[in-house]
A and B are shown apart, each in its own frame.
Chain A
Amino acid sequence: ETGVTQSPTHLIKTRGQQVTLRCSSQSGHNTVSWYQQALGQGPQFIFQYYREEENGRGNFPPRFSGLQFPNYSSELNVNALELDDSALYLCASSKKLATDTYNEQFFGPGTRLTVL
């Protein structure tokens, strides 16, 4: 069983640019959640995708957007990058049933984004 994978591992961008981060969910999972972890902080929930639809969003501006594909992999897009966007971006996948309020989330190793 393949775990959650993320690409790229590291990325360096300049302020104002756009970036796309990718996440492949664990086999059998239908939900992907994205988190931003600034240096020395705990992860913060960005949004979640369930069956290709956004299913909840944290306190992040609209320049943070996402997609989920039919194979349940996902992308996180960030436009107009700011210095404060420098962080570790984690994705987590889970197998969600419509009636569930909790499903164990399995995390990927993260993408380290540096904005100069």
Chain B
Amino acid sequence: AQTVTQSQPEMSVQEAETVTLSCTYDTSESDYYLFWYKQPPSRQMILVIRQEAYKQQNATENRFSVNFQKAAKSFSLKISDSQLGDAAMYFCAYNRDDKIIFGKGTRLHILP
């Protein structure tokens, strides 16, 4: 069975600084997708970034980038120049056959 593990229940970062959220996953598949979702207090789940497992290049979306280590089954999210609006729960997730499996989340606090 596929599992997703986020070992950091909470993290804090100073505004404008950089923070990295960790995620490991377990799967026997070779073709899959990995995601980071953001869930602010409004509860709406928002896709932050997506990585296709067969692509070696790490995905980047503006201030958000990932470090994808397929052999180690590691998928961390780096947020650069942190902003107050980045405060939220962040979920690492795995997708195969259109079913998403989420980790337990990391609550990110941004300190002004």
Measured CB to CB, the residues of A under 8 A from B are 31, 33, 35, 40-45, 48, 55-56, 58, 88, 90, 92, 94, 96, 100-105, 107-110
Residue from B91, B97, B102 in contact with A56 in the complex, judged by beta carbons closer than 8 Å:
B97
Residue from B47, B50, B99, B103 in contact with A45 in the complex, judged by beta carbons closer than 8 Å:
B99
Assuming the A-B contacts A41-B104, A42-B91, are A101 and B98 also in contact, with contact meaning beta carbons closer than 8 angstroms in the complex? yes
Task: List residues of chain A with CB within 8 A of the CB of B47.
Answer: 104
Task: List residues of chain B with CB within 8 A of the CB of A88.
Answer: 43
Given contact pairs A45-B99, A96-B98, a sample of 18 additional A-B residue pairs in the complex whose CB atoms are under 8 Å apart: A33-B100, A35-B102, A40-B104, A42-B4, A42-B93, A42-B104, A48-B98, A48-B99, A55-B98, A56-B98, A92-B100, A94-B98, A100-B98, A101-B98, A102-B33, A102-B95, A105-B98, A109-B43
Task: List residues of chain A with CB within 8 A of the CB of B59.
Answer: none
Check B100–A101 contact: CB distance below 8 A. Answer: no
Task: List residues of chain B with CB within 8 A of the CB of A107.
Answer: 44-46
Minimum C-beta distance from A4 to chain B (A): 9
Check B96–A56 contact: CB distance below 8 A. Answer: no
The secondary structure that dominates the B interface is: strand
Check B45–A90 contact: CB distance below 8 A. Answer: yes
Closest to A90 in B: B45
